[in-house]
Amino acid sequence: MTVQAVIEQEKLAQFEAKIENEIKIEPNDWMPEDYRKHLIRQISQHAHSEVIGMQPEGNWITRAPSLRSKKILLAKIQDEGGHGLYLYAAAETLGVSREQFISWLHEGKAKYASVFNYPTLNWADIGAIGWLVDGAAITNQVSLQRTSYGPYSRAMVRICKEESFHQRQGYEIMWRMMEGTKDQQRMAQDALNRWWWPSLMMFGPHDTDSPRSEKAIQWKIKRESNDRLREKFINKTIPQAELIGLKVPDPELRLNEDGTYQHGDINWDEFYAVINGNGPCNKQRLQHHIKAHQDGAWVRETAAIHQQKMNNHGKH
Amino acid sequence: MEHKEKFYLQIADNALILSHRLSEYCSNAPFLEEDLANTNVALDLIGLAESVYTELASQKGTGTADDYAYRRTEEQFFNCTMTELDYPDFAHLMVRQFFMDNFHFHFFSELVHSKDEFLSALALKSIKEVTYHLRRSSEWIIRMGDGTEEAHQRMIAAIERMWSHHEELFTPSEADLEMLNNNVAPNLSRIKELCMQKVQEIFYFAKLAVPETIPNAYQGKKGIHTEQMGHILSEMQFLPGKYPEAVW
């Protein structure tokens, strides 16, 4: 064994000891290349999801039906954009720039949460996104607060605080609509029908079909399995739906004796179709982001040139 | 309608319609930080409009803030037409913002001395927000005016478009004059002087020419708007209009 190999082995042993002892890995610490790659992929995907998620919600800002709901929605979207910023910053500590992350997104090399490839068709969709999509995200993110990479973990702690507000605000929209007119109830049920299954899919494939999960759990990037998190979400959400008179669109849904639920099969063909670019809004979402980025190129350029002028001016 | 109510509405409607235009830009900004900043300004403006509508409803003892936003027709809105205009690019968005922030800053700075306690308190609160808005939009005017040649050209086009609506801000309505006489409203001639000083200062740093004054051709304060206003309202008021019985 070469000296170099011995050193590498020692570093790996130190890294694994930290993981074992729940000591966070920090940006300047040595880490296996695969660990770094996994984090770059996961954190940037998470950041892109926050940013792309601004589009389906933004679709209703100008049509929000009250000043209060408009303010809440605007503030929520602003929070999501802010989460995108924390996460890009966390991902940048791994040595990749935000500009590069955006290029990978535009080139189709990076993904974002598939759930945002569904359209928001009525006002209750804004409720359903807050309640279900943010609800599913929190279930995952609460467990990610304990993730082994320090910057990611700290970003998650901040994000979780805000997401729990969003989930309550989303549920409040649904609750108000179910208390309202027949039309409002119809819209709320319609939104649940369309968002229920995509929300369950957010947790990813079954554990048996999730190739990257094993390593991620071993490195404590991921703290709980897809199926376990999905079950937690279902058990928490179904009583909430029933409480306000909404019917979960799953004819095979059964309440187990231990208070948990048994659900019908998830349509994995649809899941993979959307992941592979063939959902209802994949092209629209990506095109929108690309267009905004391209339309803004001259603004970023003039800001940079102006800054340069100011710096040069300062030197004279 | 009483002059006082109309004066209140001029203030609130400017804020509401401008916030509508800003909020539709969400997810379209040149970069994420700017998207958040825009949303932030939009939120401040909705808050401003809502507090005025709420106060009006309470003074009249009837209706709600939402009734003002969602249940009035075009000719019952008294915002200046500049707030309604669409925008082909970030230069137009930001030039309009600079003119409106500048107006708001000087208007509220004077309105602090209003005899009307509500307006005086509103002005005091708003100045804090508007000071930040004006600093931000002023900086953008300079970055775009004194940056690249492309940005400079875009600024010239944006200024030309918005400038023809600039004079309307300082053209007093009957409500403005009546409220001035009652020591409620500031003198718009004075506000114009202050605004023009700021325009000259910022345009000097931005290497942009201040255009000659264009006489006002618009009457938003009388409820006569551009063709775009109807589209804004039909979008904004769509749900309460379609489902009048619903509570959201």
Q: Is A39 on the interface with B (CB under 8 A)?
A: no
Decide: A39 and A47 in contact? Cβ < 8 Å: no
CA distance A294 to chain B (A): 8
Residue A258: how many CB atoms within 10 A of its CB? 6
Query: How many A-B residue pairs are in contact by the CB < 8 A criterion?
Result: 134
Confidence check: pLDDT of A130 > 90: yes
Measure in Å the smallest separation between the Cα of B63 and chain A Cα atoms. 14
The pLDDT-based confidence of A38 (bands split at 50, 70, 90) is very high
pLDDT tier, A316 (very low <50, low <70, confident <90, very high otherwise): low
* Chain B interface includes A311 (CB < 8 A): no
Q: Which two tokens stand for residue A169?
A: 């605000």
Alpha-carbon torsion, ordered A226, A227, A230, A235, to 10 deg: -150
Q: What is the pLDDT of residue A284?
A: 97
Residue range A243-271: mean pLDDT, rounded: 95
CATH 1.20.1260.10 is right for the domain spanning B3-242: yes
* pLDDT tens, chain B, 248 aa long: 799 999 999 999 999 999 999 999 999 999 999 999 999 999 999 999 999 999 999 999 999 999 999 999 999 999 999 999 999 999 999 999 999 999 999 999 999 999 999 999 999 999 999 999 999 999 999 999 999 999 999 999 999 999 999 999 999 999 999 999 999 999 999 999 999 999 999 999 999 999 999 999 999 999 999 999 999 999 999 999 999 999 99
Interface test with A, best of B20, B25, B26, B84 (most A CBs within 10 A): B26
Q: Is A15 helix (H, G, I), strand (E, B) or coil?
A: helix
Residue A5 in any domain: the answer is no
Average pLDDT over residues A213-236: 89
Residue in B102, B104, B100, B94 with CA at minimum distance from that of residue B29: B94
Rounded to whole angstroms, how far apart are CA atoms B38 and B44?
Answer: 10
Exposure string for B30-49, b = 16+ CB within 10 A, e = fewer: bbbebbbbbbbbbbbbbbbb
Whole-angstrom Cα distance, residue A151 to residue A44? 13
Q: Which among B36, B236, B248 is the nearest to A78, CB-wise?
A: B36
Q: Is the dihedral of CA A243, A245, A250, A255 positive or negative?
A: positive
The per-residue pLDDT for B116 is: 98
Residue of A nearest to B21 (CA): A62
Contact A65 B53 (CB under 8 A): no
Answer yes or no: are the C-beta atoms of B159 and B95 closer than 8 Å: yes
Residue A4 belongs to a domain: no
Check: CB of residue A29 under 8 Å from CB of residue A15.
yes
Flag whether pLDDT at A212 surpasses 90.
Answer: no
Tokens representing residue A186 in the block: 């119809």
> Which residues of B fall within a CB distance of 8 Å from A85?
32-33, 36
B45: its two tokens: 């403006």
Q: What is the pLDDT of residue A219?
A: 87
CB contact under 8 A, B151 and A75: no
Question: What percent of chain A shows pLDDT beyond 70?
Answer: 99
d(CA B6, CA B221): 9
Give the distance from residue B233's alpha carbon to the nearest chain A alpha carbon, in angstroms: 9
**Which is it for the CA torsion A171, A175, A178, A181, positive or negative?**
negative
Predicted pLDDT of residue A315 = 62
CATH of the domain at A156: 1.20.1260.10
- The answer to whether the CB atoms of A66 and B66 lie below 8 A apart is yes
Q: Per residue, what are the HEC states of chain B?
A: CCHHHHHHHHHHHHHHHHHHHHHCCCCCCCCHHHHHHHHHHHHHHHHHHHHHHHHHHHHHCCCCHHHHHHCCCHHHCCCCHHHHCCCCCHHHHHHHHHHHHHHHHHHHHHHCCCCCHHHHHHHHHHHHHHHHHHHHHHHHHHHHHCCCHHHHHHHHHHHHHHHCCCHHHHCCCHHHHHHHHCCCCCCHHHHHHHHHHHHHHHHHHCCCCCCCCCCCCCEHHHCECCCHHHHHHHHHCHHHHHCCCCCC
- A261 sits in which H/E element: strand A261-262
The whole-number pLDDT of residue A2 equals 86
Q: Which domain holds residue A201?
A: 29-315
Q: Is residue A211 part of a domain?
A: yes
For residue A4, pLDDT over 90 is answered with no
Q: Does B150 touch chain A (CB under 8 A)?
A: yes
Which of B26, B30, B33, B29 shows the shortest CA–CA distance to A85? B33
Which residue among B47, B70, B147 sits closest to A303, beta carbon to beta carbon? B147
Number of domains in chain A: 1
ipTM of the complex: 0.96
